[in-house]
Amino acid sequence: MDKPVPGRRQFLIGTAVVVGTGLAGVLGTTVRDGELGAPPRSFRGGVPWTEGQADAPPGVSGEDYKFFTPAERMFIEAAVSRLIPNDEVGPGALEANVPFFLDRQLAGPFGRGDHYYLGGPWPKGTPEQGYQSRFSPAQVYRAAIAAIDKHTRANFNGTDFAKLSDDDRDKLLKSMESGSLQLEDGVDAKTFFTMLLQNTKEGYFSDPIYGGNKDMAAWKMIGFPGAHYDYREWVTRHGEPVPFPPVSFKGRPGWNGES
């Protein structure tokens, strides 16, 4: 086995374990002998089914932004490019289309907080208690971005966060992470940073069907084969690379009967 590359790649591989485990755990169907096949699909035409004739699941499409304003988009692109920067190891969050992933998530059920309990009371919780807020994720993002830009304009000669130097952006992100940055308008910088970092990693490693992980570049970087239907033969083969190209929920060209 090749000597592992230290640094960012090592960290990201560890982060991706949960994503990979989740994919491997939920996928399952039958396929012809000797072939690692497509992800779960709906088959058409009755039984027995004909290989390659399937309806690909719907996915995110387009390039327009539905949630972020132009100013918010500039902030998000500047922030995620520092959380996962582009380098010789692999693509950064910006190159992996993470801002588009975040936009679509915030414009949908996640942004509305459909799976969050947003009722009171709202005392400041502990980290072990998870999300503790009356505000939906969309409201948190909108308020935090405005408050951060207000802070930078007041402290950096009228400059928005997106136009700061990389060093200044890094310092501000670190102060958000530590909780030392105090923002106005009741915005908790640490809560926002925690959510932003988590969502950035989700967009970076998620299936491309959700708009992030463009061209499966993050999976290729860490050697994750993606949504193959069955990994049972690899359970005990520790340390061995899986010699299959990555595949998303949409499958490969030729698998979808309508492609």
Which residue from 140, 135, 143 is spatially nearest to 116, judged by alpha carbons?
Answer: 135
For residue 9, tell me if it sits in a domain.
no
Distance CA 236, CA 113 (A): 39
Provide mean pLDDT across the span 226-240: 87
State how far the alpha carbon of 256 is from the alpha carbons of 42, 44, 47, 53, 147, in Å. Answer: 10, 11, 17, 6, 46
Do residues 250 and 256 make contact, with C-beta atoms less than 8 angstroms apart? yes
pLDDT tens for each residue of 192-214: 999 999 999 999 999 999 999 99
Give the domain extent around 96. Answer: 70-214
- Residue 218 vs residue 124, higher pLDDT: 218
For residue 60, tell me if it sits in a domain.
no
- Residue 3 vs residue 62, higher pLDDT: 62
Q: Residue 201: what pLDDT?
A: 97
Q: Residue 211: what pLDDT?
A: 94
Q: Residue 22: what pLDDT?
A: 41
Provide mean pLDDT across the span 176-201: 94
Q: Residue 55: what pLDDT?
A: 61
Q: Which of 65-79, 132-146, 238-252 has the lowest mean pLDDT?
A: 238-252
Q: How many domains does the chain have?
A: 1
List the structure tokens of 258.
């309508």
Provide mean pLDDT across the span 218-244: 88
Provide mean pLDDT across the span 149-155: 97
For residue 97, tell me if it sits in a domain.
yes
Q: Which of 45-49, 162-166, 176-180, 246-250 has the lowest mean pLDDT?
A: 45-49
- Residue 251 vs residue 35, higher pLDDT: 251
For residue 254, tell me if it sits in a domain.
no
For residue 81, tell me if it sits in a domain.
yes
For residue 237, tell me if it sits in a domain.
no
- The pLDDT-based confidence of 33 (bands split at 50, 70, 90) is very low
- The pLDDT-based confidence of 47 (bands split at 50, 70, 90) is low
- The pLDDT-based confidence of 133 (bands split at 50, 70, 90) is confident
- The pLDDT-based confidence of 227 (bands split at 50, 70, 90) is confident
DSSP labels for 152-220? Answer: HHHHTTT--GGGS-HHHHHHHHHHHHHT----STT--HHHHHHHHHHHHHHHHHS-GGGS-SGGGHHHH
For residue 43, tell me if it sits in a domain.
no
For residue 152, tell me if it sits in a domain.
yes
- Residue 232 vs residue 11, higher pLDDT: 232
Distance CA 204, CA 12 (A): 10
Q: Residue 81: what pLDDT?
A: 97
